[in-house]
Amino acid sequence: MNTIEDFKAYVAKVEATEGYSKPLAFGLGIRRSKGDKVLDVNFPGINWDTAFGTAALLQDVTGFKGSENGFVTVSKAQLQKAFDNFAAFHGEIEKHPNIVIIQQLLENIAQPSNTYQEIDVVAYFLFDKDQPVADAVEGYFKLQCLSQLHVLPHGLSLEGVFGKLNNIAWTNHGPILPEDLSAERIKATFKGENIIVTHVDKFPYMVNYHVPNGVRIASGSQVRLGAHCAVGTTVMPAGYINFNAGTKGNAMIEGRVSAGVVVGHDSDLGGGVSIMGTLSGGNKNVISIGDKCLLGANSGTGISLGFGCTIAAGVYVTAAAKVWLYDANKQPVDINGKVVEEGQNIVKGAELNGKDKLLFLLDSTNGHLTCRPNPKTIELNEALHVKN
């Protein structure tokens, strides 16, 4: 296939094969394993609803069949065949990220000697984004779909991911099963080396797999793989973003973005902020923070905030909290904005879920949690969110 026309004809023939299905997403991954346990899988470049010609080629070369989510191992010979089938594009290879990845894999693929991990290449194909996670390879693929910004949090199913990922000791020698650490330390010691463990968890740090364009992350340990850090996001040293959570645009993160939480554009989470997540405690409400919101230091919320909301420093708004409502003139009002007697202006926090332009304050004279219209919205410092 030396011409683009030949390549297109080849792709059309593969796609016309009985039973062939175009995947929603796919990618080549480097898998590290110990026996039958997957340690991790790195997908350098995931294709989401694009590059269908490459998808057809990889399915043909690897023999992958069907329309169910799954993966297949890829040999060096199959990588070479895939690269050769792209001959028509070799003159402008820099314009084709998938061909570049195949070339890089070909140049480096080998089973290193005297190492703890076994390494191979897999091709993963996703057809149904809403199916639960079936295995560790799928878990790593979906997590990297999020971190590579192909989908927003909750954009695909991560149900069952905890049960499919292995608990790993993440070290300067790569991922190691915790039960093997002692033996590996002894080996390393007699080689004059040290094994340093950064953490023991099912999730690695995002920055060790992917760094989105236009973000600043002051401490890589504070952002888990599967976090969604949009362009313009700044995560300060005490900030934290869990998997299946993150930002939609410019954001200053100095507090905690728990699993499931989505933070809107131009919002600021001050130091010590904590947003209630969905992983533990029985909370099923998916929390979102709207655009241009400000959460002051040591504040938090268990309800969603709409556009332009502010929670004052030290104030925590829960769904069950009693909130005293006032209008812009400090008159007590009901949930519909009608002026009422003091005491008739009390609602639960849940009734304010997702509403715009709210200002939550703590009345220092009586300890009441109050809410009134927010007179202004924040403006982030543009110099801190340069998109480079």
Six token digits for residue 172:
């300067």
244 with 232: CB under 8 angstroms? no
> CA-CA distance, 287 to 349, in Å (whole number)?
13
* 3-class DSSP assignment, residue 247: strand
Q: φ and ψ at 49, to 5 degrees? A: 55, 40
Which of 323, 328, 325 has the alpha carbon at shortest distance from 367?
323
- Alpha-carbon gap, residue 24 to 262, rounded angstroms: 23
3-state DSSP assignment of residue 177 = coil
Exposure string (b/e) for 70-79, b if CB count within 10 Å is 16 or more? bbbebeeebb
- Least Cα distance to 260 among 217, 232, 224, 234 occurs for 224
Give the residue among 148, 290, 143, 288 at the shortest CA–CA distance from 229.
148
Are 86 and 106 contacting, i.e. CB atoms less than 8 angstroms apart? Answer: no
| Token pair 């394993």 in the structure block, residue | 33
Q: How far apart are CA 309 and CA 78, in angstroms?
A: 54
Question: Hey, which residues are catalytic here?
Answer: 254
Residue pair 209/147 in contact (Cβ under 8 Å)? The answer is: yes
- Sign of the alpha-carbon dihedral angle for 370, 376, 381, 382: positive
Give me 174's structure tokens.
Answer: 């790569």
Please provide the DSSP assignment of 116-158 as one string.
SSEEEEEEEEES-TTSPP-SHHHHHHHHHHHHTTSS-TTSS--
Q: How many CB atoms lie within 10 A of CB 205?
A: 19
Q: Can you tell me the distance from the alpha carbon of 25 to that of 383, in angstroms, rounded to the nearest whole number?
A: 35
